[in-house]
Amino acid sequence: MKSSELFETAKTLIPGGVSSPVRAIKPYPFYTKRAEGSKIYTEDGDSLIDCCMGYGPLLLGHAHPFVKSAIKDQLDNGWLFGTPAEAEIKLAKIVTGDHPSMDMCRFVSSGSEATMAAIRLARGYSGKKDIIKVEGGFHGAHDGVLIQAGSGATTMGVPDSAGVIPEIVSHTAQVPYNDIESLENLLAKNNNVAAFIIEPVMGNIGPILPEDGYLKEVRKITEENDVLLICDEVICGYRLGIGGAQVKYDIKPDITTLGKIVGGGLPIGVFGGRREIMEMVAPAGPVYQAGTFSGNPLTLASGIAMLNYIHDNSRLYERLDGYTKIIHESLPEKYRDSFVRLGSIFKLFFREKPPKNYVQAKESNTEKYADFWKKMLQSGVFLPPSQFETNFVSAAHTEEDIEYISGAYNKCL
């Protein structure tokens, strides 16, 4: 198998043989040669229906002609300027227009960079040191949020990676998702909290959905305690509809982070919020943030094309919601209760009921999921290899694809 040979070479050149840990599939990952529409084609000659979709950003599928054309047009005009470009203004108008909580935004190169800048901005604006995050919530691979999950509502962070200085994560506390009481108790004991950062719909171990009223209560409590609310919509932004989870659940955060879809499949991150907060960002204010590839012209062109397409095809979300509904309803009855879906995102948890938080998600039977995942791959369907990663469908998936995926679920289960 060519993938096996490539992996053996990769291990001599790249730590673990991969550029991101989630790709470290045993005994070796398959290597993708090309991708188009709803499918990826491997170096071993296999064709797979893709339900990973680059871990979310490919809402329109692989190599969508509309996005591809925009990228090609930009290539003729250059792909790195190091100067402002009008496309920055065009994309910023779309993004801020789609999010009532945003008056201004700044483009960066990744979701991790966006959350890192958002936390720094919250501290700079508030003058406070501490932050709170949700147990199991992933906000990028930077030091301040790489803390062990399950430390409880009343304890501060412990590093979850070698090389992270304990003094840094000592300023990060955690609370369980869907648990208002823990958040209230923690804030009652600490008046030095700059921000609460939360995935409104937990994507990195999910999807795990908010219980009725949870997000509204989070917004109310943070306002009452003078704590900034950061909605990290890097995964769920534009996946649940225009305006993301904050529009769907009718909340207005102080700062929002985006990524994934906004770049149309090319690297991007965005952080934005109220004008008086965003004007603290350099060069307008004292909170420093910079990046050579921020506002890269290729990404801007791709993102504008992607978002324009979404706006011009408003029924897209209805169709994708219908797809995940078909998969859900086609499952054997014993598995339907542990299947979670919301719009274009979905996941089957190997536990009796859908999880409400990180601890419950970790109770899932990961050995069963691993067996199921292998069978699905052998059947021609690529799902994220971890029980704790969200599945996605795209505009490129056809009714025939969904019928095939549904059949594969039934056969493999």
Q: Is 271 helix (H, G, I), strand (E, B) or coil?
A: strand
User: Residue 156 has what pLDDT?
Assistant: 52
Q: How far is CA 354 from CA 11, 14, 85, 313, 340, in A?
A: 37, 37, 46, 32, 7
User: Residue 150 has what pLDDT?
Assistant: 42
User: Residue 169 has what pLDDT?
Assistant: 81
pLDDT beneath 70, residues of the chain: 148-158
**Amino acid making up residue 411:** K
User: 66-311 — its CATH code?
Assistant: 3.40.640.10
Q: Does domain 31-51+315-412 have CATH number 3.90.1150.10?
A: yes
Q: Is 404 helix (H, G, I), strand (E, B) or coil?
A: helix
The full set of domain ranges for the chain reads 31-51+315-412, 66-311
pLDDT in tens, 184-224: 999 999 999 999 999 999 998 889 999 999 999 999 999 99
User: Residue 154 has what pLDDT?
Assistant: 34
User: Residue 152 has what pLDDT?
Assistant: 36
Closest CA to 220 of 248, 256, 251, 190: 251
Q: Is 25 helix (H, G, I), strand (E, B) or coil?
A: coil
